[in-house]
């Protein structure tokens, strides 16, 4: 069994992670590389990797097979990865089917229909995770590859069953609630060896032009049109984009204003 990760860095500098309560929870912020930590909870030796592919698609840079190999060989993996599954409506991502299969990852088809398309993948992943608790007791660690706050309740339940939960996601859009509930949370780009040094200073681009460009790119790629995904794309185009520099306390307010300006069309899902 592989040893526990020796090094992690918390936000604000190279300090040891904090522990809270009986669970000795350590929160590692998604934009930082692994640093030094104290002890980790004891858990069964095997792990399950469950990928919310819709949520992490935009973190993929080029060579998906290489990125996944780097991730699976990283220190966050404890013991054998007994289950590897990626969840998505694979009609949207045909270009990723071959590299995922080459990495021995099972592709779980979660077709998206109607207004619930956002939740189709989430529900299937959550059901499978809880099922694994009872059908695969040798799995002690769950690696949830997502930044979606909808998984927070699932993470809490897994921890109630004594499982150790590690989150991996895209730094620009990972939910603070999910980060806090996971025992550990890492940046996908850091673990896959894709981290770039951020450029200094605020973005000088017009935020509305940036939003237009992002929408065009998302439309061209047949991407899921969601506000969290929009922010990911905008920050991929311009890493210095921050809605606060445009005078908005939250990105949702920026999106509403963009809709009022005719930059994009906003539709609230029921």
Residue 161 pLDDT exceeds 80: yes
Express each pLDDT in 109-144 by its tens digit: 988 766 545 577 889 999 999 999 999 999 999 999
Average pLDDT of the chain to the nearest whole number: 75
Question: What φ, ψ does residue 184 adopt, rounded to 5°?
Answer: -145, 155
Q: CB under 8 Å to 153, separation ≥6 — which residues?
A: none
In the prediction, which pLDDT does 33 show? 33
Mean pLDDT within 150-167:
93
How far, in Å, CA of 239 to CA of 250, rounded? 17
Residue 2 pLDDT exceeds 70: no
Between 200 and 52, whose confidence is greater?
Answer: 52
This prediction has a pTM of: 0.58
- Left if phi > 0, otherwise alpha if psi is -120 to 50, otherwise beta: which for 158? alpha
Confidence of residue 148 (pLDDT cuts 50, 70, 90): confident
Mean pLDDT within 219-241:
81
Domain boundaries 46-191, corresponding CATH code: 3.40.50.1010
In the prediction, which pLDDT does 115 show? 54
In the prediction, which pLDDT does 124 show? 92
In the prediction, which pLDDT does 11 show? 37
Residue 190 pLDDT exceeds 50: yes
Q: Which of 25-39, 72-86, 154-168 is predicted least confidently? A: 25-39
Mean pLDDT within 165-194:
79
Percent of the chain predicted with pLDDT > 90:
21
The CB-side HSE value for 140 (13 A sphere, CA atoms) comes to: 13
Confidence of residue 238 (pLDDT cuts 50, 70, 90): confident
Express each pLDDT in 36-76 by its tens digit: 233 333 456 789 999 998 877 766 655 667 777 777 777 77
Contact 214, 173 (CB under 8 A): no
């Amino acid at each position: 069994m592989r040893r526990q990760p020796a090094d992690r860095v918390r936000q604000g500098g190279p300090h040891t992670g904090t522990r809270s309560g009986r669970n000795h929870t350590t929160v590692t912020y998604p934009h930082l590389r692994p640093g030094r930590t104290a002890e980790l909870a004891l858990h069964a030796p095997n792990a399950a990797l469950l990928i919310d592919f819709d949520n992490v698609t935009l973190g993929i840079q080029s060579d998906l097979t290489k990125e996944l190999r780097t991730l699976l060989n990283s220190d966050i993996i404890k013991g054998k990865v007994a289950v590897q599954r990626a969840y998505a409506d694979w009609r949207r991502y045909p270009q990723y089917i071959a590299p995922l299969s080459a990495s021995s990852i099972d592709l779980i088809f979660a077709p998206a229909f109607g207004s619930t398309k956002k939740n189709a993948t989430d529900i299937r992943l959550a059901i499978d995770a809880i099922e694994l608790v009872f059908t695969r007791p040798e799995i002690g660690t769950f690696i949830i590859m997502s930044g979606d706050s909808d998984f927070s309740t699932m993470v809490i339940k897994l921890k109630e069953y004594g499982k150790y939960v590690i989150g991996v996601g895209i730094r620009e859009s990972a939910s603070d609630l999910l980060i806090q509930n996971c025992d550990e949370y890492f940046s996908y780009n850091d673990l896959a060896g894709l981290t770039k040094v951020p450029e200094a200073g605020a973005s000088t681009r017009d935020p509305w032009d940036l939003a237009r460009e992002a929408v065009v790119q998302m439309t061209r790629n047949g991407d899921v049109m969601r506000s969290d995904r929009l922010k990911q794309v905008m920050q991929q185009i311009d890493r210095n984009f921050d809605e606060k520099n445009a005078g908005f306390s939250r990105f949702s307010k920026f999106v509403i204003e963009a809709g009022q300006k005719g930059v994009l069309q906003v539709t609230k899902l029921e």
